[in-house]
Structure 1
């Protein structure tokens, strides 16, 4: 039997790399938010379907994305905004760990609200920069 999942993953990875190669910092950050929120939805489905191995992999991917978002913060020039963003990312990371340990969809909902609000803020910055 053919495994189309690996081919799809390779296609998806190539498509993302292609977008990232030509993107400015705002677009890259928005891509991270998009990927995070997509993974959050998938992870929610994994919890509901009791696919705990896939849930764990999804949580791990989201934590890595949070790490990337955190690394993109300009701590030296970002001042209070960067510090607050870092606290929000840390809070989301803790909520993801809680969701993973307890299979708690409420924690995922909290993370979704925070990350959607941050994404909308970045979209506004991206539009005003254009």
Structure 2
């Protein structure tokens, strides 16, 4: 039996894979921010609607995205900015875990603020480089 959602998921995955293949590191990081913030909105709905299984899946996905963002940092250079961003990603991860454990949207709001600000900073950095 064909599930339309499976087809849509495959399309989304292929579309994202195609964009990622041709993207530079700046665009890849922006894609990670976009995916993270989209998933954050899903988590808000899952918590509100008490869909705990879907909430857990979304939190796990966001934790993987945070791992990808952290992996993109050049910590070897000793850059203070990279260290600060690593700390912010870790803070967001801890806040997501608290939001999940307590079903508390205030933790989600905090993460949204941090990640939106970081995303805007990356967008500004891209316009300076271009």
Shorter-chain TM-score bucket reads over 0.9
Give the distance between the partners of 2:22 and 2:42, measured in 1 at CA. 27
How far apart are residue 3 of structure 1 and its match? 2.0
Give the distance between the partners of 2:54 and 2:92, measured in 1 at CA. 19
Partner residue, 2:5? 5
RMSD: 1.0
> CA offsets per residue over residues 81-101 of structure 1, 9 Å max, x none?
000000000000000000000
> CA offsets per residue over residues 68-112 of structure 1, 9 Å max, x none?
000000002251000000000000000000000011111000000
Task: Indicate the larger mover: 71-80 or 102-111.
Answer: 71-80
Partner residue, 2:25? 25
> Quick one: structure 1 residues 78 and 120, their matched pair in 2 at CA, closer, same or farther if it must change by over 3 Å?
farther
Partner residue, 1:113? 113
How far apart are residue 4 of structure 1 and its match? 1.4
Detail structure 1 runs of 4+ shifted over 3 Å in the superposition: none
Give the distance between the partners of 2:96 and 2:41, measured in 1 at CA. 13
TM-score normalized with structure 2 length: 0.97
> CA offsets per residue over residues 40-95 of structure 1, 9 Å max, x none?
00111011111110000000000000000000000022510000000000000000
Give ranges in structure 2 of 5+ residues lacking alignment.
none
Partner residue, 1:93? 93
Give ranges in structure 1 of 5+ residues lacking alignment.
none
TM-score normalized with structure 1 length: 0.97
Partner residue, 1:43? 43
Aligned length: 130
